[in-house]
Chains A and B, each alone.
Chain A
Amino acid sequence: MISDLSNRASEWLCGIGPMHDVVVSSRVRLARNLAGMPFLSKCDARQKSEILEKLRIAIMACDLGEKLTYVDVARATPLDRELLTERHLISRQHAASDSPRGVIISDNETVSLMINEEDHLRMQVLRSGLQLNEAFDEIFRIDAALEKVLNYAFSSRYGYLTACPTNVGTGLRVSVMLHLPALKLTGELDRALRAARDMKLAVRGLYGEGTDSLGDFFQISNQITLGRSEKDIVEEFLSVIVPELLNYERKARQALMAHDATDIEDKIFRALAILQSARKITSKETMYRLSMIRLGVHLGKITSFDLKAVNELSLLAQPAHLQKILGREIQDEERQKVRADFLRQRLKACSS
């Protein structure tokens, strides 16, 4: 399955969802642990394998309405693990761990169920644009189906019990990936992100915990999982958090176009020219230039290709994807050259 993934973008990342000018994607995840088993920090390898087998067999036998594929992450090559990380199907932590572990992925890559990450089971559903309710309904359906065959650690006081108390209660983490280039350019980003942090939200980079805000992408997620219902957590995102940040970014874009239109257009078209002409380029610079191009598409400045193409390039230009497309492992220096060649070709194909 992994080899099929590398030359196309995930459906959820490729697709264009509601509010896609700012909200790239929506994600919900639930943390669950099997009752009667220690958390992973106190499991030996045998117990970890036991948990992995129990969950794998139970989930694969469940009819979740999607075709599911199991990937043994511990046995996968480092390159395949990196590929799954770039596609947001496993976390960096899951890729790097040395435990017996795996992931179950739906055919369209919107559902991913990580086994033996920080908790026994981490379920996530991804959707394009702002579709938190849809993502939430799906994860609730999956959770209910699995709960018929699995018993989870639960307490009446603390709810679903998790290895880290920051997830206890609902075990629910709701996140949106936002593209905020205009706020960065107007210098208002810090203020906006501070407001988000004041609302007890975590602000992270493109690949979650401990990652940089590559290409003006920011992942905003709830930190409080206890004392609020799942619906309330989702509703706060939909009615308060996202509209507020969306509004900030849209206003900043309007302000830029009203006062610095030439500067902005210059940045957008220089970014395009660089990607069309560069002979070597890092993945970091690629993300930064693509961020400007994405802004150009939304502002109607670039019409030769669409958002879908930008999304696809952002993913395929990542290190593991490039190496998979090329069919062999390449070191950083050569990778920069391969990346530049790849981008030139794709952009040429897009504009013709």
Chain B
Amino acid sequence: MMSDDRKCDKCGKPATVHLTEIVDGKKLEKHLCEECAEAEGITIKANVPIGQLLENIIQHAQETASGEMSQNAAIASAPANEDVICNVCGMSFAEYNEHGLLGCPNDYDAFGEKLAKAILHVQDGSDRHVGKIPANADVMLTLQNRILKLRSDLRQAIHAEQYEHAAQLRDTIKAIEEQQAK
């Protein structure tokens, strides 16, 4: 794909880093030597397998195309082998992988595409629910993760013996729950 005798866009030395970025729907190619690449904040970790690297590039190129990512996103800001932790229940993706059970409903969001891939695999290529929807789904969709987070904060507050704060959190949870029960 790339010719080997390309020169670095910045300094003219032989380029070893070749990037294809999609910015505002336009394809941009970049060729850099290792030093200039590093100066631009692009690092390639030798321990990232090539397959993962490609996945990152593809994934981020797609995200960039949808206008969500900044420049130089071709190399993942978080390498694919870095763990992800849910800030609600504290479970890491590695911990989930080890035991096979998730820690809380928020993990489905927190573990993002890593979990999506695993789901795609166990569910034989399906990644979207097409069955029954709860009658109160619209309310719950917006509230459930908020309550989950409040409960996690409540647990921490009790643990830290911040009882006043805990009481406030408990009241907030109760108020939300009573409101939906109506």
A binds B: yes
Task: Judge whether A42 and B104 touch: CB under 8 Å.
Answer: yes
Task: Judge whether A147 and B135 touch: CB under 8 Å.
Answer: yes
Output the least CB separation between A145 and chain B (Å). Answer: 11
Binary CB contact string for chain A from 50 to 80 against chain B (1 if under 8 A, 0 otherwise): 0000000000000000000000000000000
Task: Judge whether B127 and A161 touch: CB under 8 Å.
Answer: no
**Among A148, A154, A228, which residue has its beta carbon within 8 angstroms of that of B133?**
A154
A156 and B173 alpha carbons, distance in the complex (Å): 23
B149: nearest chain-A partner, CB-CB: A36
Output the least CB separation between A201 and chain B (Å). Answer: 11
Output the least CB separation between A160 and chain B (Å). Answer: 8
**Among B91, B124, B129, which residue has its beta carbon within 8 angstroms of that of A159?**
B129
A156 and B138 alpha carbons, distance in the complex (Å): 9
**Among B134, B136, B141, B148, which residue has its beta carbon within 8 angstroms of that of A37?**
B148
Binary CB contact string for chain A from 139 to 163 against chain B (1 if under 8 A, 0 otherwise): 0100110011001111111111101
B84 on the interface (CB 8 Å rule)? Answer: no
A156: nearest chain-B partner, CB-CB: B141
Output the least CB separation between B143 and chain A (Å). Answer: 8
Interface size on B, residues (CB 8 A): 45
Q: Which residues of A contact B140 (CB under 8 A)?
A: 35, 151-152, 154
From known contacts A151-B140, A170-B129, A230-B132, infer whether A165 and B122 are also in contact, taking CB-CB under 8 Å: yes
Task: Judge whether B126 and A161 touch: CB under 8 Å.
Answer: no
Task: Judge whether B134 and A154 touch: CB under 8 Å.
Answer: yes
**Among B101, B105, B118, B151, which residue has its beta carbon within 8 angstroms of that of A118?**
B101
Task: Judge whether A41 and B131 touch: CB under 8 Å.
Answer: no
B23 on the interface (CB 8 Å rule)? Answer: no
Within 8 A of A (CB), among B5-38: none
Q: Which of A17-25, A219-227, A267-275 interfaces with chain B?
A: A219-227
Q: Which residues of B contact A37 (CB under 8 A)?
A: 104, 148, 151
Output the least CB separation between B50 and chain A (Å). Answer: 28
A237 on the interface (CB 8 Å rule)? Answer: no
A38 on the interface (CB 8 Å rule)? Answer: yes
| Chain A contact residues: helix, strand, loop or mixed | loop
A308 on the interface (CB 8 Å rule)? Answer: no
Q: Which residues of B contact A153 (CB under 8 A)?
A: 105, 144
Task: Judge whether A36 and B147 touch: CB under 8 Å.
Answer: yes
Q: Which residues of A contact B88 (CB under 8 A)?
A: 38
A296 on the interface (CB 8 Å rule)? Answer: no
B100 on the interface (CB 8 Å rule)? Answer: yes
Task: Judge whether A157 and B128 touch: CB under 8 Å.
Answer: yes
Task: Judge whether A155 and B123 touch: CB under 8 Å.
Answer: no
Task: Judge whether B105 and A230 touch: CB under 8 Å.
Answer: no
Task: Judge whether A41 and B123 touch: CB under 8 Å.
Answer: no
Task: Judge whether A166 and B122 touch: CB under 8 Å.
Answer: yes
A251 on the interface (CB 8 Å rule)? Answer: no
Task: Judge whether B118 and A152 touch: CB under 8 Å.
Answer: no
A10 on the interface (CB 8 Å rule)? Answer: no
Task: Judge whether B147 and A227 touch: CB under 8 Å.
Answer: no
B90 on the interface (CB 8 Å rule)? Answer: yes
Output the least CB separation between A161 and chain B (Å). Answer: 4
Output the least CB separation between B171 and chain A (Å). Answer: 15
Q: Which residues of A contact B101 (CB under 8 A)?
A: 39-41, 118, 163-164
A156 and B155 alpha carbons, distance in the complex (Å): 28
Q: Which residues of A contact B100 (CB under 8 A)?
A: 164
A165: nearest chain-B partner, CB-CB: B119
Q: Which residues of B contact A147 (CB under 8 A)?
A: 134-136
Q: Which residues of A contact B137 (CB under 8 A)?
A: 154, 156
Q: Which residues of A contact B123 (CB under 8 A)?
A: 165-166, 168-169, 224-227
Q: Which residues of A contact B102 (CB under 8 A)?
A: 39, 41, 163-165
A170 and B123 alpha carbons, distance in the complex (Å): 12
A228 and B155 alpha carbons, distance in the complex (Å): 37
Task: Judge whether A226 and B119 touch: CB under 8 Å.
Answer: yes
**Among B103, B108, B129, which residue has its beta carbon within 8 angstroms of that of A41?**
B103
Task: Judge whether B128 and A155 touch: CB under 8 Å.
Answer: no
Within 8 A of B (CB), among A2-48: 33, 35-42, 44
**Among B105, B108, B126, B133, which residue has its beta carbon within 8 angstroms of that of A227?**
B126
From known contacts A42-B90, A151-B180, A154-B137, infer whether A230 and B144 are also in contact, taking CB-CB under 8 Å: no
Output the least CB separation between B55 and chain A (Å). Answer: 20
A154 and B109 alpha carbons, distance in the complex (Å): 12
Task: List residues of chain A with CB under 8 Å of any chain B CB.
Answer: 33, 35-42, 44, 118, 140, 143-144, 147-148, 151-161, 163-166, 168-170, 172, 200, 223-230
> Which 5 A-B pairs have CB atoms at the shortest separation, nearest pair first?
A227-B126, A159-B129, A36-B147, A42-B103, A35-B144
Q: What are 26 of the A-B contact pairs (CB < 8 Å)?
A: A35-B148, A36-B177, A37-B151, A41-B103, A42-B89, A118-B101, A152-B134, A154-B144, A155-B108, A157-B127, A158-B128, A158-B129, A159-B131, A159-B133, A160-B129, A161-B105, A169-B123, A169-B126, A170-B129, A172-B131, A200-B124, A223-B122, A224-B124, A226-B129, A227-B129, A227-B130
